Amino acid sequence: MNKSKRPFTKSKRSFRRRLPPIQSGDRIDYRNMSLISRFISEQGNILSRRVNRVTLKQQRLITIAIKQARILSLLPFLNNQKQFER
């Protein structure tokens, strides 16, 4: 029997830690369109927390800011441009 000394070794993959999408100096506000637009899909949906990689508190603030921007017509509620291209 020829057993290796370490049968269960983890592969040493180097991975790069992703930078958080919201920096410490960024204010989550309905007027900050460059920040808010990162968290909206092409169809106009609010992306989930797992996709955004943000904390629960940040996701709540983002959602409130997006909804305020939609009400003030800074953002569209829907983006149906792809449906009309057919």
User: What are the pLDDT digits (tens) for 28-81?
Assistant: 999 999 999 999 999 899 999 999 999 999 999 999 999 999 999 999 888 776
Distance CA 45, CA 61 (A): 16
The residue that leads in pLDDT, 71 or 8, is 71
Terminal Cα distance for the chain, rounded: 65
Short-list 7, 5, 83, CA closest to 44? 83
The pLDDT score that the predictor gives to residue 86 is: 52
The residue that leads in pLDDT, 83 or 58, is 58
Q: How confident is the model at residue 26 (pLDDT cuts 50, 70, 90)?
A: confident
Distance CA 49, CA 67 (A): 16
> Residue 67, SS3?
helix
